[in-house]
């Protein structure tokens, strides 16, 4: 990549994205929004290669697929890549993406909770129904995850699917990702419309922390490479962990910041503020 090309993608990472009319209302009502043409092909190719290299270098899941749990079959998962590479940090700290999160959450600013790469192998299984905030010891529902496919994502690859408006009801909020959550929520979520559509290259989605979502198996023969960042309101407070996963998250991603205080450890920088 030439210096000029690199400068262009750096500019893109910080340039504001104008949300289409109705995007904030859609996010509030349905719990998610899909946005086209947020990131360019050149940007995704450049950072996608860096992220992929890190995933394969840092991944510790090496068991054969037939020996894995349902959760392990869903994807290779590597977190906080921004701490492993200054170049990937540029991507994770993108003001363009963080501003979208702040606007959708109607917040004056957002912090990073953590990033995570989610690579569904060519024989990877389903990602069961779940709500992310089950895992987070955070007081407010003002959270959002950006889901960024690093390639065009067909139905055969297992794109993210959303149970529309499910963030408005308190069902299944005590379920971890498992066969049980898939079976129970398949039944419980029948009252909600399902949005399950492909992603074009450059298209991303943002979904709320309490929105139920899943993904199908990858039957495409190619890996489904996705990068995500989790944003939280910059004034988010830490709550007492309610389960073992929140306890682990509190220690790992919030560095055991005091319960009742701000979620503002050195791992949780403000990425955008007005």
H helix and E strand count, the chain: 8, 11
Q: What is the pLDDT of residue 175?
A: 73
Q: What is the pLDDT of residue 143?
A: 98
pLDDT tens string 80-99: 999 999 999 999 999 999 99
Q: What is the pLDDT of residue 61?
A: 58
Q: What is the pLDDT of residue 70?
A: 57
Q: What is the pLDDT of residue 56?
A: 87
For the chain, the domains span 30-254
Q: What is the pLDDT of residue 267?
A: 98
Q: What is the pLDDT of residue 71?
A: 55
pTM of this prediction?
A: 0.93
Residue 114, Cβ density class (10 Å: 0-12 exposed, 13-18 middle, ≥19 buried): buried
Q: Do 200 and 152 touch, CB atoms closer than 8 A?
A: yes
pLDDT for residue 172 is more than 80? no
Q: What is the pLDDT of residue 160?
A: 97
Higher pLDDT, 261 or 66: 261
Q: What is the pLDDT of residue 252?
A: 97
Q: Tell me what the mean pLDDT of segment 217-233 comes to.
A: 96
Q: How far apart are CA 28 and CA 43, in angstroms?
A: 29
Q: Tell me what the mean pLDDT of segment 140-150 comes to.
A: 98
Q: What is the pLDDT of residue 65?
A: 56
Percent of residues in the chain assigned helix, strand, coil, to nearest 5: 35, 25, 40
What is the residue-averaged pLDDT of the chain? 92
Does 2.60.120.620 match the CATH number of domain 30-254?
A: yes
Q: Tell me what the mean pLDDT of segment 178-201 comes to.
A: 87
- Residue 226: what are its φ and ψ, rounded to 5°? -135, 140
pLDDT tens string 48-68: 999 999 998 987 756 665 666
Q: What is the pLDDT of residue 122?
A: 82
Which pLDDT band, with edges at 50, 70 and 90, does 77 fall under? confident
Q: What is the pLDDT of residue 63?
A: 60
């Amino acid at each position: 990549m030439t210096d000029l090309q690199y400068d262009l993608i750096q500019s893109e990472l910080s340039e504001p994205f104008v949300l289409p009319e109705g995007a904030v209302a859609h996010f509030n009502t349905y719990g998610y929004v899909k946005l086209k043409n947020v990131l360019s092909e050149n940007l995704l190719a450049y950072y996608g290669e860096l992220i992929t290299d890190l995933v394969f270098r840092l991944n510790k899941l090496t068991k054969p697929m037939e020996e894995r749990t349902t959760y392990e079959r869903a994807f290779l998962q590597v977190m906080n890549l921004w701490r492993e590479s200054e170049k990937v940090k540029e991507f994770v700290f993108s003001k363009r993406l963080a501003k979208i999160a702040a606007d959708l959450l109607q917040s004056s600013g957002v912090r990073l909770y953590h990033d995570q790469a989610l690579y569904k192998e060519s024989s990877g299984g389903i990602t069961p129904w779940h709500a992310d905030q089950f895992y987070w010891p955070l007081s407010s529902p003002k959270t959002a995850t950006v889901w960024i496919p690093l390639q065009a994502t067909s139905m055969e690859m297992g794109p993210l699917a959303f149970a529309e408006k499910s963030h408005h009801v308190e069902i299944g909020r005590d379920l971890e990702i498992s066969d049980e959550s898939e079976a129970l929520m398949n039944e419980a979520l029948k009252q909600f419309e399902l949005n399950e559509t492909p992603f074009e290259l450059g298209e991303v989605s943002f979904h709320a922390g309490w929105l139920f979502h899943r993904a199908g198996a990858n039957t495409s023969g190619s890996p489904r490479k996705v990068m995500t960042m989790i944003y939280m309101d910059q004034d988010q407070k830490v709550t007492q962990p309610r389960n073992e996963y929140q306890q682990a998250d509190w220690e790992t991603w919030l560095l055991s910041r005091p319960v009742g205080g701000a979620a503002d450890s050195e791992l949780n920088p403000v990425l955008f503020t007005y």
